[in-house]
Chain A
């Protein structure tokens, strides 16, 4: 594979939900090392876009390609070895320890009749440590708080360790410290370890801090490109229909509603 070949390519993408067209003719390419953030108002279709990029929902028009091959052609297991997806919600209807759940992330890498190897267990423990849940490995998830469960779900994705990570609001339920830490973790994976990250976020300040690229998902217009170019107070104000001002600080830019 060519080093700079795009990992994920979408062309002429159109998304529809019953009775409504969310977007049309969206095109962008995600390369290793990039951190994409999808921002936009509620109901603009951020989750639908992520699901489509993950190959779990067919687009109304256009194509999504993973490593140059149409994502629809991938068997689920082969796709999961390359691409991971953190849904907005996960279910904990049954008791299970945090470690068991995170070990589930190794599923695409463990042959059907095999048990998880000590290597898989090590990776799962490392993932739990990375989200600060190492001490809770043997806790039943049903006894964990919403934010702790979210971190366990994130650890599951880290244990899966795909080259391309798609995350739907990964910071849901997280307190500010874990929000910052989790996003830093993801940004580092992209920058230092050659992963690619695409995530939907609501916090514009954190988006500005970590995004290399953004998708502005409006109700009538979708723009994709470099973060420096698109993340301006003017564009964001128009996107949300809410006046915002950019407040510059040596550590980054904050967007303040006015």
Chain B
């Protein structure tokens, strides 16, 4: 019950943030022409931002449970590195139509590599998995550098923006939100099992959790969520790491509340950050990835300090 009350409080703060973001657009919105701008440009972009933020936060939440490590996130495990690498390779090859599927393939390939290698002797020891993920992510990073240095000058700037995470290309919000809703619904099915899984495979198994099935499902969901997010917005860092941790400090680790709360907070944070990113130095636009770090780091540190009282 206390957790529910906390979740609601956290939710209303988030809604507050979203409202602030909306209020930021209102003055620029002078009736007729502005309506189209809001409806056709800003709303889809805000929807996409919310979807990306929610997906990343949810993916981070699941990976942290799976690895029993609050430092895990899609980026640490190399999922988004794989997705980014696939997308950049497609860009370099001039096949811009293939960017989406290539990113997708990259994320999935990364998951398979990480879990294939870390599996080895049978048990998925979280530490080994995390280490493998870090190494694979570094490998993707090197490949990305290779692509960047061999790309023609004109393409590099676009690629760079995309790598840091940029929502200026997002024109449709629907598919992202749909994916977010789908992933969240399936993840909630496993929420109680996931809460117990965080206390160790053996504890979970002894309480009737089908450990293997739940683990596989959570991995697949996290990979899918990351792939969709990266395809929509490139590598927006930090959301998957900081949001689950921050929300957990407020409402605890019961996944039934943590998953939806993380989606709300992640979505709200990214919507807010993206709005600031495109209004701060208007008419130029900042990549939103810069902003998520600027907003996220102090918030995280403050929460960490507050809970350590």
Query: Which residues in A have some Cβ–Cβ distance to B below 8 Å?
Result: 51, 54, 56, 75-81, 83-87, 89-97, 100-101, 104-105, 107-108, 110, 112, 153, 156, 160
Contacts and interface: CB of A to CB of B under 8 A. Distances in A.
Contact of B202 (A87, A95, A101): A87
A92 B195 CA distance: 11
B10 to A, nearest CB: 15
A102 to B, nearest CB: 11
Given A92-B199, A93-B68, A87 B249 contact: no
B252 interface: yes
Which of A75, A93, A156 counts the most chain B CB atoms within 10 A? A93
A245 B68 CA distance: 45
Given A54-B206, A56-B205, A108-B208, A97 B199 contact: no
Nearest to B197: A91
Contacts of B232: none
Contacts of B69: 93
Interface in B27-71: 64, 68-70
B198 A94 contact: yes
A153 B202 CA distance: 12
Given A75-B208, A112-B192, 18 more contacts: A56-B202, A76-B205, A76-B211, A78-B208, A80-B206, A84-B207, A85-B206, A87-B200, A90-B200, A91-B198, A95-B248, A96-B254, A100-B253, A104-B196, A105-B207, A107-B208, A108-B208, A153-B203
B208 A104 contact: no
Contacts of A83: 206
Contact of A95 (B189, B210, B211, B252): B252
A80 B208 contact: yes
Contacts of A100: 3, 252-254
Contact of A93 (B70, B192, B211): B70
Interface string B209-225: 11100000000000000
A17 B146 CA distance: 46
Nearest to A47: B202
A122 B198 CA distance: 24
A107 B192 contact: yes
Contacts of A153: 203
Contacts of B202: 51, 56, 85, 87
Interface of B: 3, 64, 68-70, 189, 192, 195-196, 198-200, 202-203, 205-211, 248-249, 252-254, 307
Contact of B200 (A51, A54, A79, A89): A89
A85 B70 CA distance: 26
B252 A97 contact: yes
B203 A90 contact: yes
Which of B196, B207, B253 counts the most chain A CB atoms within 10 A? B207
Contacts of B199: 90-92, 101, 104
Q: Dominant SS at the A interface?
A: mixed
A94 B206 CA distance: 20
B252 to A, nearest CB: 6
Nearest to B307: A95
A85 B204 CA distance: 10
Contact of A104 (B205, B207, B210): B207
26 contacts: A51-B202, A77-B210, A79-B208, A80-B206, A80-B208, A81-B208, A87-B200, A87-B202, A87-B203, A87-B206, A90-B200, A91-B68, A91-B199, A91-B200, A92-B199, A93-B70, A94-B70, A95-B253, A100-B3, A101-B199, A104-B195, A104-B196, A107-B207, A110-B192, A153-B203, A156-B203
B252 A160 contact: no
A93 B249 CA distance: 13
A73 to B, nearest CB: 14
A127 to B, nearest CB: 14
A120 to B, nearest CB: 12
A240 B69 CA distance: 39
Contacts of A54: 206
Contacts of A105: 207
Nearest to A82: B208
Nearest to A106: B207
Which of B199, B208, B209 counts the most chain A CB atoms within 10 A? B208
A13 B189 CA distance: 37
Contacts of A79: 208
